[in-house]
Structure 1
Amino acid sequence: MKIKGITDIFFDLDHTLWDFDKNSALTFDKIFKMNNVPVDLNNFLQHYEPINLKYWKLYREEKIDKKSLRYGRLNEAFTAINFTAGDALINQLSEDYITHLSTFSHLFENTFEILDYLKYNYSLHIITNGFGEVQQGKMKNSNITHYFKTVTNSESVGVKKPNPKIFNHALKVANTSVNKALMIGDNFEADILGAINIGMDAILFDVKNQSKNNGVKQINNLIHLKKYL
């Protein structure tokens, strides 16, 4: 069923348009080789990916800062695979990861197709909890910057999704209202509940079909947005 009255669409970036897991894996492969880190990449990623999500949840909830996130996720992942990495190596890898992450540019299937479809009838925007300097690089190198009229990141606002302040700030910058806006993202707590709690409509992007019976509109391929828009 088509959603009526929408003029502005807000996308999350990581895990929604930009394929974070694929690009992150390529980044680790590169920086491990650069720093001669003798670990099995697949084994590392199997442990790192859920650890990273845990640390981002802590960061989103204001329980840790950026530095703690960057160090802690690596330290815990190396501990989980029984690899001894000193502080110097972890700090170097942390810096190298941020430096090289945005140089990879894999997007989810049909990203360009759906953005080209939507741009004629809607104003498009980004709301992200990611670090500002990294997110801009991701968008530029993925060649999607030109689709979006505004980009709101948590560092510039001082709060993170699902805090209503970041959504209200994004609406103000976009010069639109909550009843004309739609949020699309992969994180049920940060993107979907965050939007719903201020009265904004939302669509969950669940590429792995892991979310069931949550009572919200959801898709597993971006092209399926045509069903609603």
Structure 2
Amino acid sequence: MTDIKHIFFDLDHTLWDFDKNSALTFRKIFDIHNVNVELDTFLNTYEPINFKYWKLYREEKVTKSELRYGRLNEAFNGINVSVSDKLIHQLSEDYINYLTTFNHVFDNTHEILDYLSHNYELHIITNGFEEAQEKKLKASKLNHYFKTVTNSEMAGVKKPNPKIFKLALDLANARPEESLMIGDSLEADVQGSINVGMKSVYFDYKDANYVKNHTRITSLIQLKDFL
């Protein structure tokens, strides 16, 4: 890719291994509160529900608190485990507090950021909650790579809304035509960035969704092939 000067990354599911860190967090908080469920069974039910709630959150159809409560409540209902509202609220709070104590990143994350940082300015655009994303970047030793970090709470909207991309470009002093977005969501990251004139790379980390007409990678190290 030519003429690229700025590279914008999503954080969760792109650099920071959300699935692994989330599973470790649930194991910890279930142990703390003596929640007797089989973790894999819970996660298999929870993950699509969480995905659904994040889509609703992006579309402004649920609030942050509704997301945090609703995804847990539906997951426990889905595996027929009765949990009190009080405990769900406590688990929701503890999940956020403990999530950033686990900081696995995807393979080659530091290597590719070291490689790219010599020739590009690097930035983050994330829909994640501000307080959590800052902790993730610091604890996983990623924060020093990025000149700017734009989150949805700063922008007042979530990806794929063009306003968050335009804010990120303004903060980075970057033009769309010289900017590239890399992320795991075809809707939020890829199409959202294309809609404002940026180039994009789809990170299909599960290697499960072949798509036409988009640059697609399944490993971050593949960015060396064209950057």
Question: Which TM-score applies when normalising by structure 1?
Answer: 0.98
Indicate the SS of the match to 2:128.
coil
1:200 maps to 2:212: no
The one of 90, 93, 99 aligned to 1:92? 90
Counterpart amino acid of residue 79 in structure 2: I
RMSD: 0.6
Name 1:26's counterpart in structure 2.
Answer: 24
Query: For structure 1, which segment, 211-220 or 175-184, has the greater mean C-alpha deviation from structure 2 after superposition?
Result: 211-220
Name 2:40's counterpart in structure 1.
Answer: 42
Name 2:147's counterpart in structure 1.
Answer: 149
Residue 185 of structure 1 deviates from its aligned partner by 0.1
Name 1:75's counterpart in structure 2.
Answer: 73
1:133 maps to 2:138: no
1:16 maps to 2:14: yes
Q: Distance in 2 between matches of 1:76 and 1:135?
A: 25
Indicate the SS of the match to 2:46.
helix
Counterpart amino acid of residue 17 in structure 1: L
1:121 maps to 2:106: no
Residue 132 of structure 1 deviates from its aligned partner by 0.2
Indicate the SS of the match to 2:200.
strand
Counterpart amino acid of residue 123 in structure 1: E
* Percent identity of equivalent pairs: 63
Residue 214 of structure 1 deviates from its aligned partner by 3.2
Q: Distance in 2 between matches of 1:27 and 1:130?
A: 17
1:163-203 Cα distance to aligned partner (Å, 9 max, x none)? 00000000000011001100000000000000001110000
1:126-154 Cα distance to aligned partner (Å, 9 max, x none)? 00000000000011110010000000000
Residue 215 of structure 1 deviates from its aligned partner by 1.3
Q: Distance in 1 between matches of 2:101 and 2:226?
A: 33
- How many residues align? The count is 227
Q: Distance in 2 between matches of 1:213 and 1:193?
A: 13
Name 1:188's counterpart in structure 2.
Answer: 186
Residue 212 of structure 1 deviates from its aligned partner by 1.8
Q: Distance in 2 between matches of 1:185 and 1:44?
A: 26
1:54-80 Cα distance to aligned partner (Å, 9 max, x none)? 000000011000000000000000000
Counterpart amino acid of residue 211 in structure 2: N
Q: Distance in 2 between matches of 1:60 and 1:133?
A: 18
Q: Distance in 1 between matches of 2:78 and 2:196?
A: 39
Residue 213 of structure 1 deviates from its aligned partner by 2.8
Counterpart amino acid of residue 196 in structure 1: I
Indicate the SS of the match to 1:149.
strand
Residue 156 of structure 1 deviates from its aligned partner by 0.9
Counterpart amino acid of residue 70 in structure 1: R
Name 2:108's counterpart in structure 1.
Answer: 110
The one of 196, 201, 208 aligned to 1:210? 208
Segments of structure 1 that go 5 or more residues without pairing to the other structure are none
1:5 maps to 2:3: yes
Counterpart amino acid of residue 6 in structure 1: I
